[in-house]
A and B are shown apart, each in its own frame.
Chain A
Amino acid sequence: MNRDNDKGKVLIYRSMILGAAELLLLLLLIFRLYYLQVYQADKYATLADENRISTRLLVPPRGIIYDRHQNLIAGNQQNFQVMMVAEQTTDVDETLEALKKIMPLDESEEKRVRKDLKRNRSFVPVKIKDNLSWEETTKILLNAPDLPGVFIDEGLSRYYPYKDMFAHVVGYVAAVSEKDEKDDPLLEVPGFKIGKSGIERLFDKELRGKAGNLKLEVNAIGRVMKEIERVDGVAGDKIELSLDLRLQQKAYELLGNESGAVVMMNVNTGEVLAFASAPAFDPNIFATGLSTEQWNELNGNMKKPLLNKAVSGLYSPGSTFKMVVGLAALESGMVGKQTRSFCAGKMNLGNHTFHCWKDAGHGYLDMVQALQHSCDIFFYETAQKIGINKIAEMARKFGLGQKTNVGIENEKSGLIPDTEWKRQRFGEPWQQGESIISGIGQGYILTTPVQLATMVSRIANGGYAVSPTFRKFDPKNGVVEAKSMGISPLNMEVVKQGMFEVMNAQGGTALRSGFNFKGQRMAGKTGTTQVRRITMKERMSGVLGQEELEWRLRNHALFVGYAPYDNPKYGVAVLVEHGGSGSGVAAPIGSKMLLEALKLDATDKPVD
């Protein structure tokens, strides 16, 4: 049959078409292979590497902080932590129990550990406890056979050998928080700590160092298969501070149980040699993490150990401000070296009476004598004469009422009032009485101890605007070129002589604190500022002695001074909160600080 023949032909014909089509399609797959494996090979090779390579940052050791004589102030200490890998232990509960017998673990810690173990994949090491003592570490190592999957991990933690002594100046490191600027991938590393306070914060970028890289091969679920490459990071820079351990030690020791601050500077370079605020705290607890009780204790303490009084404490400068008033007067030409005032113990303005600290009065005195005796009336009258704006201008030249920008956080700028300020602040004109009390550094005026140290250094060096710095001055970098403040040297001499008499002349308010060390003498000025108002009634019945008062009502004691008088090198400012009197409490501290510096200079290891 014809059709049968056709049926066979159709089959052959169409089979050939089908076969050809199938074979062609198969070959077309090769084009796709070419596209993926040749044309896009690089792209996919990169993607494959991104899949398999996990890059981790290696945290570099933090830079070491030294004082000016290479004494270690902040270093790194080996830190042991105990870790556990769930899959390497036969029974997690059993192992944890065995571990608890060796090393106590409180309930909340245990809860966290169990949560972490549950949450992470079984090959991920989970931290059980860090900052192990040496004893705990050795115990765990000795019991290793009973603790499968448990191992000791070493890391570095920040260590401050002098504990609270440098707390407010060197500061501390702590975990990165939400608000910290994330400018460095290191900050994303879990457990990484950055400088949060003081010099640790100020020089953080230098101290941090450069992260290293660890390239690991991981599988799809994140298990590490092998190490591919390790590039070690660069350790942080070592920082040499201007601070002198011995002077810092002395300052902190002299403050003792008081609440106060001592700032000592090199008057020619601005280098801060001692910078203490008391009471302080142990910064090591911030590096290891502090407990709620520790925090509450620090926070609740009446003497405010967490407050850096040297930069954040605001105090009326009191009589230590008199040099500024004196210089303003001398520079204005309205008062001369010889100009004398009569102190009768009080003066009247309208129906208000202003008292000198000495009820009997000082009689006639010139500026040098007025400083020597710290006569209030003299400076009341002087301030009245020249007005607040001249005083404010001079005060600002000495760095008062503005931040010194020494680099410690929460620095306060203080306040130097003038007529413009009063008008803007209260919308009221300046009162003459306000000028009068400003003459003795009271009223609106507020300063910080670091400002006072800057002020006294600028007086001591003859009127050069040095600024406090924590970097050790390197003579290789040339000399410190502080700008002259343009104050007449003769006028400077008057004030400096007054400060000399305070310490060395009969009747000087701090004569008891003066010294003569191998012919080197000091100059200074005391200050005592009231924190309460003395009522007329109390004045009539006799002012209460400081010892009779509650601590928080006692006067603040201040002192600024420098030495040697002939060739000034060291300036110091001392503040003792509620210390009673400047001459009785602050001046001895300032004097001892200066004497210590001079004594050290006489040894084979001078301060400089």
Chain B
Amino acid sequence: MYKAYETSFRNQSLGLVDKFWGISFSYVFLIMLLAAIGVTMLYSAANGSWEPWALRQLIRFGMGFAIMIVLAFFDVRIFLRYAYWFYFGVLALLIIVEIGGHVGMGAQRWINLGFMKLQPSELMKIALVLALARYFNSTSLQNIETVKGIIFPAMLVMVPVTLVMIQPDLGTALMLLFSAGAIFFVVGIQLWKFGVLALGAIVSMPVAWHFLHDYQKNRVLTFLDPERDPLGSGYHIIQSKIALGSGGVFGKGFLNGTQSHLNFLPEKHTDFIFTMLSEEFGMIGAVVVILINFLIIAYSYIFALRSTSYFGKLVAVGLTTNYFLYVMINIAMVLGLLPVVGIPLPLISYGGTVLLSVMTGFGIILAVNINRNINIGKD
């Protein structure tokens, strides 16, 4: 019988060398493989050129990789200690964005740091996981199972979700909600509570619909029936399906995707990069990418379960779910299974913030794995 709190041979602190050898190299390799595929696709997206995306993405990946490794060397207890600090810091940034952020893509989501545009909502995905993990680590199962016990964590979730929603960035808000929901689930909140919540959501749907922006309504309607406006909002998804389907099993070959290279496929370097990959490398390429992600997620769960600390487990599960949501939503979206919500495919799509966000997540997951035997108290 596995003992979650087995503490017989814990080493309270590891040396740098031990930590280095503690890094899961196969995990890191899978991440690098995915990033390499991403850079390759960006090279193709620019019609066989390193400019303007592939090279920059490579540099950003380098930065992200460094961050990941540095974080991997951190003691998990530091994450616990500063979880709330980090959370409230990011929340402050979100509020700043709300007040005077940079306008981009019709929604205020950025803080211009000069060298890059910072998207606090991306950081919130990590901050929220850490904050919730800290809270649930410190409380008891009894408390979790009471309504009173989940008021505070619910607040931790709803405040940033609301802020992101009014940006408006429905995709990110839903992702925050879903990853928080996953954490609420694993910590043991009774299933009937989810049932009540789901029921409430369904009932309030017509009201929520009223508050959606026109373009958001359009996206949902278009998802339900892409043909209703084939040259307008339905264009993306129709062209995406054509590109995917015409790729067939073996694809049209590297740099030979007609839908992408002749610009029928929009956003081919960002949200629809999976489509482009599937067009050029066919179902084989698409399945390979899905399987690599499968392995990354599977590894992450193994790391989570191997961790002896409650906090470590919860952080790993939360961050993994966060990553899973990116992958799942993006691919389901380009396959026409979900509305187009503007979620990129991490490690492959062009874009700095998401890349840094998921690399940060991987770094923390690595740290959880390396520190799996470190005892963490309730606070």
User: Footprint of B on A, CB under 8 Å?
Assistant: 3-12, 14-16, 18-19, 22-23, 25-27, 29-30, 32-34, 36-38, 40-41, 43-45, 47-49, 51-52, 217-221, 225
- Contacts across chains A and B counted by CB atoms under 8 Å: 162
Q: In chain B, residues 118-147, which have Cβ atoms closer than 8 Å to a Cβ of chain A?
A: 140-142, 144
The reply to whether B283 and A33 contact each other, CB–CB distance below 8 Å, is: yes
Would you call B140 and A225 a contact (CB within 8 A)?
no
List A contacts of B5 (CB < 8 A).
4-5, 8
Give chain B residues whose Cβ lies under 8 Å from the Cβ of A16. 301, 305
- Give chain A residues whose Cβ lies under 8 Å from the Cβ of B144: 7
Out of A7, A14, A22, which one reaches B324, CB within 8 Å? Answer: A22
Segment 284-337 of B: residues with Cβ below 8 Å from A: 286-287, 290, 293-294, 297-298, 301, 304-305, 310, 313-314, 317, 320-321, 324, 327-328, 331-332, 335-337
Give Cα A23 to B320, complex, Å.
Answer: 11
Q: Roughly how many angstroms separate A325 CA and B223 CA in the complex, as a whole number?
A: 85
Interface of chain B, helix or strand or loop or mixed?
A: helix
Q: Which residues of chain A have C-beta atoms less than 8 A from B324's C-beta?
A: 22, 26
Interface positions, chain B 139-162, Cβ under 8 Å from A, are 140-142, 144
Q: How far is the CA of A12 from the CA of B187 in the complex (A)?
A: 9
A11 to B185, CA, bound (A): 9
Q: How far is the CB of A321 from chain B (nearest CB, A)?
A: 69
> In the complex, A40→B310 CA distance in Å?
47
Q: A219 to nearest B CB, angstroms? A: 4
Contact call B259/A48, Cβ cutoff below 8 A: yes
Q: A10-B141, A18-B321 given as contacts; is B259 within 8 A of A43 (CB)?
A: no
Q: Which residues of B contact A (CB under 8 A)?
A: 2, 4-5, 140-142, 144, 182, 185-188, 239, 241-249, 258-259, 261-264, 278, 282-283, 286-287, 290, 293-294, 297-298, 301, 304-305, 310, 313-314, 317, 320-321, 324, 327-328, 331-332, 335-337
Contact partner, A220, options B188, B264, B294, Cβ 8 Å = B264
Q: A10-B141, A36-B335 are in contact. Are A47 and B246 (CB under 8 A)?
A: yes
Enumerate the 8 nearest inter-chain pairs by beta-carbon distance, A residue then B residue, closest first: A44-B245, A8-B4, A48-B246, A10-B188, A19-B301, A219-B262, A220-B263, A7-B141
Q: Does the CB pair A38–B185 fall under 8 Å?
A: no
Interface of A is mostly: helix
**A8 smallest CB distance to B (angstroms):** 3
- The minimal Cβ–Cβ distance linking A480 to chain B, given in whole angstroms, is 60
| Contact between A8 and B310, CB atoms less than 8 A apart | yes
Please name all residues of chain A whose beta carbon is closer than 8 Å to the beta carbon of B188 when the two chains form the complex. Answer: 7, 10-11, 14
Show 24 residue pairs from A and B whose CB-CB distance is below 8 angstroms, ordered by the A residue.
Answer: A7-B188, A8-B310, A10-B187, A12-B2, A15-B301, A18-B185, A19-B298, A19-B320, A22-B297, A23-B294, A23-B297, A26-B293, A29-B331, A29-B335, A33-B283, A33-B287, A33-B335, A34-B283, A36-B241, A37-B249, A47-B246, A48-B246, A51-B259, A219-B264
Quote the shortest CB–CB distance from B80 to chain A (angstroms).
16
> How far apart are the CA atoms of A108 and B196 in the complex, in Å?
73
With A7-B310, A12-B305 already in contact, the answer to whether A37 and B282 are too (CB < 8 A) is yes
Which residues of A are found within 8 Å of B310, using beta-carbon distances?
A: 7-8, 11
The verdict on A4 contacting B185 (CB below 8 Å), with A30-B287, A44-B241, A219-B262 known, is no
